Amino acid sequence: MKTFQKFALSLALLPAFAFATSPMLENKVVSPSLVQVKIADIGREGSILKTRQQHPTTEFLIGIPVTVSTGSACIDFVGQEATVNAQGVTRLRALGATDPVVDACIEIFPLPVATQLTFSMSVLTGGIVQAPQFHKRYVQIEGAGMFQVTLDLYADRVTIQPAFIKH
């Protein structure tokens, strides 16, 4: 009976010992890690992607057309991160993911990806007095600079202009 217990215990511990010598543990990270990707180009005409009215305000989802360059075939563009600081400036950051399980990656430069960075803009549209035609918001796009986004309520048009000249 004692021999059977030792045999059963060794069978139970065998997978644990086999996993302990796995090459996967050499990397210590098995989930994708996020990195910032470079913004190659920013369009001058944005778009209103979605509106949601909740009296007295209207929430606009604004899209800024951008071209992102991952710089490597090892990085995939996965999305964006948007934060708003205490001064009300929206900060957008394009993110890519690297796969740590892949040991080797061909260092080629893939074509840039055309996409949109989005942010939310709340505008007071209800009430007794009519809302003004133009609403402006400053947006900082990391790696590209600060931009002034102007929403024209009467024409449903969005324009994007550099707020500061980047040297």
What is the pTM assigned to this prediction?
Answer: 0.72
CA angle 29-33-35, nearest 5°? Answer: 150
User: Residue 139 in contact with residue 120, Cβ under 8 Å?
Assistant: no
The residues spanned by each domain of the chain are 2-162
What is the end-to-end Cα distance of the chain in Å, rounded? 80
pLDDT tens sequence across 49-58 = 999 988 888 8
DSSP per position, 63-88: EEEEEEE-SSTTEEEEEEEEEE-TTS
Distance (Å) of CA 99 to CA 17, 37, 165: 26, 15, 36
Residue 166: predicted pLDDT: 54
Question: Considering just the CA atoms, what is the radius of gyration of the chain in Å?
Answer: 25
User: Residue 68 in contact with residue 38, Cβ under 8 Å?
Assistant: yes
pLDDT tens sequence across 74-93 = 888 888 999 988 888 899 99
What is the Cα–Cα distance from 117 to 100, expressed in whole angstroms? 26
